[in-house]
Amino acid sequence: MGTEVGATLSRNLEKRTPYSISRQLAPYAFIFPSFVGVLAFLLVPAVAVLVISLFSWNMLSPPRFVGLRNYLDILKDPIALHSMLTTVYYVVLNIPAQTVLAILLALMLNRRLPGTGVLRALFVLPWLAMPVAISVVWNLIFDPTNGVLNNLLVALGLRPQQWLSSPAEALPCVASVNIWQWTGYNMLFFLAGLQSIPSHLYEAANIDGAGRFRKFFSITLPLLRPTLLFVLITSVIGSFQVFDTVYVMTQGGPGTATNVYNYYIFQQGFQFFHMGYAAALSVILFLVILLVTLIQFRFVGRGTTYDMS
């Protein structure tokens, strides 16, 4: 018995040639750069933010440990609450319109018609542009004096609007820029989801006499749930983190009408040099995004169908 075990072990050791060992290590070599990137640019900064949130630090003097005081100050800060509510309002303005338009575009372009490829590319082009450049262009469009929109309104005999100078209109204008930029990008995911739905389901529905709306709500929408869940989660996370568009177009104004949460973090950290407080605000934002994501998984992800064979 011992002789047989020894012979088996010797054969296994003989099989472990340098070539076989290198083949086993090859996957880890490919994973290693990504692992280093995640560790250096995601995990370490996240831990650093959590640690800094426990200190009072202005980046000039040594940090001073204050425990949970920064978090308690957030609860008493009316501007922090206002900026969070402003961000939630921005998300409500942005996500439904963006998602519905993306689905409608995907349905429209999910046909074998001449020019659909060109239209798909045109709708995705805004996503390829830099947000700062887009914000500068839209600033010119929304300009109350010489902007394209007001010139168009005047040509139609309508009254010009203040757009970014109006507390009531500024945030919807910023949200419309985000909708314009990201709708085409989300359309690609819905288009891929539509093309993965088996055609025989629609053929069976046609035989049963189902109409266009019945097929959409009974076949298309249920089988698009995995795509819808992905698009909603990524879009909501991105909307809660909006910063560059606000920074270029309004800088939180007029007043505090567009002072979203991320912009308030920037102000606390890099204008007022309250780095510990800014870090605590960032941790709160992470927890809010995590909570919203779990809610989406709970309600949108429930009953999601992944196997469409």
Of 20-24, 157-161, 265-269, 284-288, the poorest mean pLDDT is in 20-24
Asked if residue 299 has pLDDT above 90, the reply is no
pLDDT exceeds 80 at position 80: yes
| 180: number of Cβ within 10 Å | 15
Is residue 62 classed as helix, strand or coil in its secondary structure? coil
| 246-264 pLDDT, tens digit each | 999 999 999 999 999 999 9
What is the model's pLDDT at position 13?
Answer: 47
CA distance from start to end of the chain = 51
Helix axes 44-52, 275-299, angle to 10 degrees: 120
Which residues make up the CATH 1.10.3720.10 domain(s) of the chain?
69-299
What phi and psi, each to the nearest 5 degrees, are found at residue 248?
A: -80, -40
pLDDT of 5 higher than 60: no
| Tokens standing for residue 229 | 């869940």
Among 44-53, 116-125, 232-241, the minimum mean pLDDT is found in: 116-125
Which comes out higher in pLDDT, residue 21 or 14?
21
Q: With pLDDT > 70 as the criterion, what percentage of the chain qualifies?
A: 91
Q: What is the 3-state secondary structure (H, E, C) of 22-54?
A: HHHHHHHHHHHHHHHHHHHHHHHHHHHHHHHCC
Assign a CATH topology to domain 69-299.
MetI-like fold (1.10.3720)
Please name which of 278, 275, 266 lies closest in space to residue 59, comparing C-alpha atoms.
275
Q: Which spans in 53-169 are helix H?
A: 69-75, 78-109, 116-128, 131-141, 148-155
Please determine, for residue 2, whether its predicted confidence score (pLDDT) is greater than 60: no
pLDDT value at position 24?
77
Which pLDDT belongs to residue 185?
A: 95
Quote the DSSP letter at residue 217.
I
- For the chain, what is the total number of helices (H) and then of strands (E)? 16, 2
